[in-house]
């Protein structure tokens, strides 16, 4: 109990950082992921293969390696980022590779005949995509996109490797000072579990509301 009370203020300060890491990376990753998905569906060969290469690289290499490359590699190119910015950049690039596939599958799942129906009504392809295809695609992709957010919240723990003081970093530091690593990592695990359970409930609510409109 004494260890919990000692660690509680530190966890309280680290929790917003963890949430900021996860949500900001998810938002930026969603924007980039949608762009990559559209490139994958493009009729331009160069864009299509460029997007394929991006997805292949970031899905095929460990996130930890990507974080270390961003943090230690970019300064060699004259780009110096603080630990938090480095972690956000790496998490964004990593999550975008997965989210792009979620969005792409959602877009492909929409009936192709809707493109033709919209064209007969005189709608442009951009208007058709934004008003008809995209809303349906996002609805279809919601379960997998929500799962990616939950996974991303857990992935933020790797930011501790570049000294970002989030939940895992606090557990490491207090565990090293008290020699009670098991207790500290159990506490951190419970907090991560609580965050993800709340996100799971939120995802279920969103899916339920979207299903009512289908």
Domain boundaries, the chain: 2-212
Residue 63, token pair as written in the block: 């996130």
CATH superfamily of 2-212: MetI-like (1.10.3720.10)
Beta-carbon neighbour count of residue 182 at 10 Å?
9
Q: Is the pTM of this model over 0.85?
A: yes
Integer Cα distance of 70 and 83 in angstroms: 10
Integer Cα distance of 9 and 201 in angstroms: 27
| Chain-centre distance for alpha carbon 159 | 14
Q: pLDDT of 164-202, one tens digit each?
A: 989 999 999 888 888 888 989 999 999 999 999 999 999
Q: Provide, for the chain, the percentages of residues in helix, strand and coil under a 3-state DSSP scheme, each rounded to the nearest 5.
A: 85, 0, 15
- Check pLDDT > 90 for residue 40: yes
- Check pLDDT > 80 for residue 211: no
Which has the closest alpha carbon to 181: 171, 190, 191, 189? Answer: 171
Q: Write the Ramachandran bin of 179: left for phi over 0, alpha for psi from -120 to 50, otherwise beta.
A: left
Which has the closest alpha carbon to 70: 54, 91, 100, 96? Answer: 91
- Check pLDDT > 90 for residue 126: no
| Chain-centre distance for alpha carbon 27 | 7
Q: pLDDT of 129-170, one tens digit each?
A: 888 888 888 888 888 999 999 999 999 999 999 989 899 999
Integer Cα distance of 83 and 64 in angstroms: 14
Which has the closest alpha carbon to 5: 142, 210, 178? Answer: 178
Cα angle for residues 83, 86, 87 (degrees, 5° grid): 85
Q: pLDDT of 50-104, one tens digit each?
A: 999 999 999 999 999 999 999 999 999 999 999 999 999 999 999 999 999 999 9
| pLDDT score of 7 | 81
- Averaged pLDDT, 28-32: 96
Integer Cα distance of 160 and 157 in angstroms: 6
| pLDDT score of 3 | 75
Given pLDDT bands bounded at 50, 70 and 90, which one contains residue 1? Answer: low
Residue 190, token pair as written in the block: 């419970």
- Averaged pLDDT, 200-205: 91
| pLDDT score of 214 | 56
Rounded to 5 degrees, φ, ψ at 186 are -65, -40
């Amino acid at each position: 109990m004494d260890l919990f009370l000692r660690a509680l203020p530190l966890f309280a300060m680290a929790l917003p950082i963890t949430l900021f890491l996860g949500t900001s990376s998810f938002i930026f990753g969603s924007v980039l992921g949608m762009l990559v998905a559209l490139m994958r569906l493009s009729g331009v060969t160069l864009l299509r293969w460029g997007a394929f290469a991006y997805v292949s690289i970031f899905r095929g290499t460990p996130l930890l390696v990507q974080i270390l490359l961003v943090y230690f590699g970019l300064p060699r190119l004259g780009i110096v980022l603080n630990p938090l910015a480095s972690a956000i950049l790496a998490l964004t690039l990593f999550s975008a590779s997965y989210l792009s596939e979620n969005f792409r599958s959602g877009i492909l799942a929409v009936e192709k005949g809707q493109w033709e129906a919209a064209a007969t009504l005189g709608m442009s392809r951009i208007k058709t995509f934004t008003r008809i295809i995209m809303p349906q695609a996002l609805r279809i992709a919601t379960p997998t996109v929500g799962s990616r957010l939950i996974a991303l919240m857990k992935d933020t723990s790797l930011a501790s490797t570049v000294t970002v003081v989030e939940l895992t970093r606090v557990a490491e530091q207090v565990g090293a000072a008290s020699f009670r690593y098991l207790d500290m990592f159990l506490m951190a695990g419970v907090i991560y579990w609580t965050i993800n359970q709340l996100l799971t409930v939120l995802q279920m609510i969103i899916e339920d509301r979207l299903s009512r409109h289908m």
